[in-house]
Amino acid sequence: MDKQNSNWQQEKEMSNGFWLGLIINLAIKLPRWSIRLLLYPIVLFYVLIAPKKRQVSRHYLSQVLPVKPSIFHVYKHFFWFAAVLLDRVYFLTGKYDLFSISYHHRQEVIDSFVKNPGQFFLSGHFGSVDALKTQAMDKHYEIKPVIKLDHNQTVVNLMKQLNPEFYENVIPYKGLETTFEIYENLKSGISIALLADRPIADSKTLLVDFLGDKISLPAGIFEMVKRYPFPANFFFSRYEGGNRYYVEYIKMKPNHDDTVQMIAQTFADALALQCKKSPYNWFNFYPYWIEASDEA
């Protein structure tokens, strides 16, 4: 396992079970705007007590902002993460009417399901993947996410309480056997959503260029895209402040001769472009880049 791979899996959760549970319970009972007010002091607290995450945020923001990031930029980065996490409560409880969600290429994706109901949807820890569920509200097709349920257990348990059915309709990551489960679902006409910007467990990785750094991506995901006979898409659901989300779909058009490495780099380039468009939406608060000494 490379150092970057272990970094994010060994990170302590950016949440305390008691406080997160309290916020969720209040969010169910009180208006969204009132809960958002509570985020300001909570986020300030986490910014003050998390020097390593501040450092990572500064490093990342220095690659995507036109100015040198200050503590105010770092605070905003933390705040957008908190705001999106809070909005999970509302997405998981079906309160879609609270949000203004715009789509790019949505109809093309819907039309494509007629011929190819089983497709790959690749994204990263960028914005709110929960907004993708609004894509499937017409129930003519199904999208199952693959989730590593043993990480961020506090969040997973609390979200299960909110919507047990959601976690019954996911594919838990269980190593190699998960690839077979993914294939069987795709073959039966069920689409698969995967977050492809972090290595998983001790799986094989690919080194790609990303915002001036080298990062590791999970090779298995891109090997499936290359070898399995199903269409693949990128999707990015970015938070735009207030109650606004913007979901963009990008159809992959790989050439037959594209290698797995080339497909992974295409994804990294697409993610980097999204980060430059909306810098505060990428939520990786661990040292995601590969140091020169790690490459040796």
Q: Tell me which DSSP letter residue 201 carries.
A: T
Structurally, the chain folds into a number of domains equal to: 1
pLDDT at residue 12 greater than cutoff 60: no
Stated pTM of the model: 0.88
Question: What pLDDT score was predicted for residue 110?
Answer: 84
Task: List pLDDT tens digits, range 184-241.
Answer: 999 999 999 999 998 876 778 999 999 999 999 999 999 999 999 999 999 999 999 9
* Average pLDDT of the residues in 10-32: 69
Average pLDDT, the chain: 85
Contact predicate 210/67, CB 8 Å: no
As a whole number of angstroms, the distance between CA 224 and CA 192 comes to: 11
Question: Tokens 């468009």 correspond to what residue?
Answer: 277
| pLDDT tens digits, one per residue of 46-80 | 899 999 999 999 999 999 999 999 999 999 999 99
Whole-number Å distance between alpha carbons of 181 and 273: 31
Q: Per-residue pLDDT for 243 more than 60? A: yes
Inform me whether the pLDDT recorded for 178 exceeds 80. Answer: yes
Q: Please, are residues 89 and 28 in contact by the beta-carbon 8 Å criterion?
A: yes
> Which residues span the domain enclosing 167?
3-295
Contact 278, 238 (CB under 8 A): yes
